[in-house]
Structure 1
Amino acid sequence: AEFFFIPLGALQTCIVPVISFNYAAKDQERCKAVLKESLIAGMALMFLGTLCFEFLPVQMLSTFSKDAQVIAIGTNGFHYIGVAFIPMVTSLIFPVYFQAIGSAVKSSILTVVRTMVLFVPLGYLFSRFGLQYFWLTFPVTEVLTTLVGFKFYRSQQA
């Protein structure tokens, strides 16, 4: 997974000064364009990750373990986690965007919502119903965080 997150992290780091500069120059269209291009690039990258997690989980897991049970459990988990990669892009890019335009509160809220408000409680709740449900924590967290991010973005545009 880190193979895909490292370039996404680099993308996050690179867009901050570009968006900040254009925001300070009052070039809202350029800020929107950078955000859009970043989301597209991030989604393209994470789509490759999704494909790997969907179609190559055994090969990927076999690199770390030969235990059949670990591979079986991990393969199941990879399918859920891989699906979460696409919405994960927005839930990771939006906080950086808000940081770049000086909206630290929105950036912080999104980060806290993703990790502490959603992921941890949902992980605990879903785990009460079994491992199969626990895996849902990943896509549900990312989709809900993405929705909050879009809500913040739309309110920023108003």
Structure 2
Amino acid sequence: MPRLFTGLEIPSDMSDALARMRGGLPGARWIDQQNYHITLRFIGDIDHATARDIDAALGEVHREPVAVTLDSLSAFGGGRPRAVIARVAPTAALAELQADQERRVRSAGIPPEGRKFTPHVTLARLRDASPMDVADYLALRGAFPTMRFTAYRFVLFSSRDSVGGGPYVIEAAYPLG
């Protein structure tokens, strides 16, 4: 059974810039830069027939290209940090693209996503990282350079069953515009 999710790819020049932020954080498992992406909808482990239904449903998405801005570094997990991320500034166009995919995936029989959509790029997964070390890491990189790009497609990724972080394979691409 494939494990699927939809997302936006990160341009290589931005991936290079994000990868330069790696290091200096005990307990961090840094994501390979070729696996940087913005998840739009996690689908999960599904059978091949459902995967075909989802592919067909996603092929019906008709949206304009989406402007994307990465505007800061942050962390998920509060007192027990679990990831370092590059935050994506929320926009109506990005939220509408995600909501359209949510509706289509649900129409293919997948349960609703239980988590609120928070657009981001995961840079590292954390294990036993102290909140103070994470705060120090973020403070040292406080001058995050705003990065912008336009997404002209979204993709259906697959991943192997693992602890996360890739490798990810593009199974299908869907144009925007």
Q: TM-score over 0.5 for the alignment?
A: no
Which structure's residues are more often strand, by fraction? 2
Q: Report the TM-score when normalising by structure 2.
A: 0.24
Higher-RCO chain (CA-CA 8 Å, sequence separation at least 6): 2
- Structure label with greater radius of gyration: 1
Which structure's residues are more often helix, by fraction? 1
Q: Report the TM-score when normalising by structure 1.
A: 0.26
